[in-house]
Chains A and B, each alone.
Chain A
Amino acid sequence: MAEPKFGYAINAWGQPLVEESAVERPEQQERVFKVLSACKFRAVELDEGSGRWAPLGRREEIEIHFGTVPKFRAFLRSCGIDRICSWFYDPARGSNEEGSNGRSPLVVADHQGIVDSTRAFAQTLQELGGSCLVVRPTPSYWRVAPVTDDKLKAAADCWNQVGRMSRQYDVQTAVHPDFLSALRPGETLDRFLSYTDPDLVGLAIDTAEVTIAGGDSIALYERYPQRVKHFHFKNARTTDSLGEYQTRNAEFEVLSAGGKRGIQRWFWDMGTPGGLVDFPRLVKSLQSHGYDGWIVVEGDQSPDPAATTALNAYYLQRVLFKS
């Protein structure tokens, strides 16, 4: 089997358009990349963004700040980072560069725009040594409920087109349902996947998101071992047991503000006390099925991203992969 490949997601340092982002200036980026390298993570997942607050969010911004994509890669290498392994893309985010206020895969008229938009990401990923475009497959549940067959088919068709396009650049498209997603673990996700072309669209499992949504990452992986092309490894201590994904404005009310229970932090480092994800059993399953995609560790919602990176590195190195 191929050896698992590890990367780390830049979203730990704040997401584009969030004022608290800590990767705006080159010297900040250098420090972050060196921390990752010192923790033995040599591949990075970027987060799509637009405009001056997202200097690593898209090709145009990278070219503004580094001149060319190869120069950006040279900068990465100077920091001990070998490649950008993957890029997270959410079509709902607006893009001034594209004159878009956001698009929806459920809207057929938006499909060509999404394909055109993702092409630049796939091409840039290829130039940066990457191989996976990780996409948010639908808006949140509350925005699109009821989740009808027609909506699922429209979204599936959109990602089939993107998957066909990205293949031209040797980039795998993988859909990443989060815990607010319209694609719920189980029936809707199964139906959605059945409408996509398995040769074109893979599944990205985010261990925390699946757990919070009430699913089981291991069961999900074992249901689709050939279709899972990407992992986000992070932990959760709490599940959405109140079904608050259905709440109006759930991105704010639940993910950010913590819902009725005031959950301060949904996402945790892999070895956190009380963590609900059974990583040892998951990795055994990956080994037994010959998983060969990226495992990208995430530290979003950490108050100290560097500290969480080190904690995650410790868990990978001294616990999960210790004999």
Chain B
Amino acid sequence: MEATKKDQNLIVSVSPHVRSEETTSRIMWTVSLALLPALLSGVWFFGLKALFITASCIISSIIFEHLYMKIVDKKTPVSDGSAFLTGLLLGMNMPASLWSFSPFTAHVPIVASFVAVVITKQLFGGLGFNVFNPALIGRAFALISWPKAMTIWTEPAASFLAMDAKTTATPLGILKEEGVAKLMEVFGDKTSLYTHLLVGNRAGSIGEISAIAILIGGLFLLAKKYITWHIPVSFLGTAALMAWVLGGKGALFTGDPIVHLLSGGMMLGAWFMATDYVTSPSVKNGQILFGIGCGALTMLIRLKGGFPEGVMFAILIMNCFAPLIDRGFKSKVFGAVKQTKAKEIK
């Protein structure tokens, strides 16, 4: 307790003088935490190699971020968690079989991390200025550069430590190449197929296989208000609608939307990739349009394109439009429209 003195060194700064607890790094780490169930499901079904792949992406991302910052002489923002999150997402978008692929492909996660962190993010101005989702560009680069290694899928292994597993095709791959009948044959019946997709007992990228695990993380983010419903709901809704209308053999309105929603990267994309703050619109109405675009492009690629899966390209294409959508959907200024109505005497 000290009495009032004259000429005290008062701290002077601009208003507001109080700030919320939220920080950029807390957001990044919370999103990373929300990805944990999906990552664990990947490790459960593909063994420790899934963890190794993801870890090598995370470590490479952090190292590249550090090095870049050192070279350009900027303060290192590694603590903001964004490089970690990018590495995590990138790893979860890779097939676990990369680890056991022959010839040895350990360079794939490293190069993809470089492309994600340095080229996609830092060269565009760093966090907040990248046009494209860094993890997705990293994955796209890897897919185009090493198409074989990136599309060898292994069967979910019963053994946790299994390093070698039988290769197989993803459900979407089967659907594309051999049709829905073959898919049913592989998984038994409809219920069994849905269950496998929900739980994650199927071939695919490490983090995309278990719809339930992803949903847990997504709903967690929704509950924490880190994301809103706008992008996931419009994304998944549009995709489901298109799958139902156009996904059937021959006749319209005979497709199976559930298979499409639960397979491939649909869930991971809609909840965790398309909702990336930096590369999606920040106005709510714009987010709905963005989600519709993602859903529609995904289904166009899946149903009419050459690839079995389209989530990655769909989101990347829509990323380009995010700034434009924000401009078009500029938020409405208070009082701007209701001028005449406001005159009424109550």
A and B are interacting partners:
no
**A-to-B contact residues, CB < 8 Å:** none
